Amino acid sequence: MPRGNPSPKLAITVAPEVHAQVLAAAADEGMSVSAWMTNAARQALLVRDGLRAVAEWEADHGVFTEAELAAARRRVADQLIVSARSEPA
């Protein structure tokens, strides 16, 4: 971050087992706890936004059918396979 635009800081309290898992996860991924928590927050916000978008769509068009949900699950599973293949070993 440039000197004129420092990152805001948060002070949080977490359960001891969560604390230990966060420390381990950050170390496993070779990043700082701050970077790991920022990534985790970004992912949580994306999920929240996605769920909100689905709720809005369903409010306008009706709930997804089981067939539509199954097709979506297959597409996600296929994409995860493609992503896993493209990751470096």
Indicate whether 75 belongs to any domain: yes
Q: How many structural domains compose the chain?
A: 1
Confidence grade of residue 89 (pLDDT, cut at 50, 70, 90): low
C-alpha distances (whole Å) from 27 to each of 14, 43, 83, 88 are 18, 19, 23, 19
Q: What is the pLDDT of residue 6?
A: 85
Q: Residue 11: inside a domain, yes or no?
A: no
Is 4 inside any structural domain? Answer: no
The answer to whether residue 46 is domain-embedded is yes
Range of 73's domain?
Answer: 16-86
Predicted TM-score of the model (pTM): 0.71
Indicate whether 38 belongs to any domain: yes
pLDDT at position 59: 97
The CA distance from 34 to 75, in Å, is 33
* CA–CA dist 41, 44 (Å, integer): 5
Mean predicted lDDT score pLDDT of the chain: 92
Residue-level pLDDT at 86: 81
